[in-house]
Amino acid sequence: MKQINWGFIGCGEVTEKKSGPAFNEVSGSRVVAVMGRNADKTRSYAQRHGIPKWFTDAQALVDDPEVNAVYIATPPSSHATYAIMAMHAGKPCYVEKPLAASYDDCARVNHVSQVTGVPCYVAYYRRYLPYFREVKNVVESGKIGKAINVQIRFSCPPRQLDYNKPEDRPWRLQPDIAGGGYFYDLAPHQLDLLQNIFGVITHAEGYSNNRGGLYSAEDTVSACFRFENGLPGSGSWCFVGHDSAREDRIEIIGDKGMVSFSVFDYQPIELITSSGKELINVPNPQYVQKPLIKSVIETLQGKDNCKCTSISATPVNWVMDRILGKF
CATH number of the domain residue 22 falls in = 3.40.50.720
Q: Are residues 166 and 254 in the same domain?
A: yes
pLDDT tens track for 84-135 = 999 999 999 999 999 999 999 999 999 999 999 999 999 999 999 999 999 9
pLDDT above 90 (res 1): no
For residues 167-174, average pLDDT = 94
Residue 316 lies in a domain: no
Inside any domain, residue 46: yes
Residues 199, 120 share a domain: no
Both 75 and 33 in one domain: the answer is yes
Residue 50 Ramachandran class (φ > 0 left, ψ -120 to 50 alpha, else beta): left
Same domain, 43 and 162: no
173 and 187 share one domain: yes
* Residue 262 belongs to a domain: yes
In eight-state DSSP terms, residue 158 is P
Q: For 38-54, what is each residue's pLDDT tens digit? A: 999 999 999 999 999 99
Helix axes 103-116, 79-88, angle to 10 degrees: 10
Q: Is 112 among the domain residues? A: yes
Are residues 77 and 163 both part of a single domain?
no
Domain assignment of residue 314, yes or no: no
Report yes or no on 327 lying in a domain: no
Q: How many domains does the chain have?
A: 2
- Do 37 and 89 lie in one domain? The reply is yes
- pLDDT at residue 153 in the model: 98
- Which range marks the domain in which residue 23 is found? 4-125+288-309
Clarify whether residues 187 and 274 are in a common domain.
yes
User: Residue 13 falls within a domain, yes or no?
Assistant: yes
Say whether both 63 and 38 belong to one domain: yes
Indicate the pLDDT class of residue 17, thresholds 50, 70 and 90: confident
CB contact at 8 A, 26 and 326: no
Q: What is the CATH number of the domain that holds 235?
A: 3.30.360.10
Mean pLDDT over each residue of the chain, to the nearest integer: 97
Residue 53 lies in a domain: yes
- Reply yes or no on whether the pLDDT at 258 is more than 90: yes
* Residues 116 and 152 reside in one and the same domain: no
What lies within 8 Å, CB to CB, of 275 at 6+ separation is: none
Cβ contact 169:215 at 8 Å: yes
pLDDT at 176: 96
Spatial CB neighbours of 265, under 8 Å, sequence gap ≥ 6? 248
Same domain? 26 vs 149: no
The pLDDT of residue 154:
98
Express each pLDDT in 223-244 by its tens digit. 999 999 999 999 999 999 999 9
* Distance from C-alpha of 141 to C-alpha of 157, rounded to nearest angstrom: 36
Q: Same domain for 20 and 79?
A: yes
Q: What is the mean pLDDT of residues 250-263?
A: 98
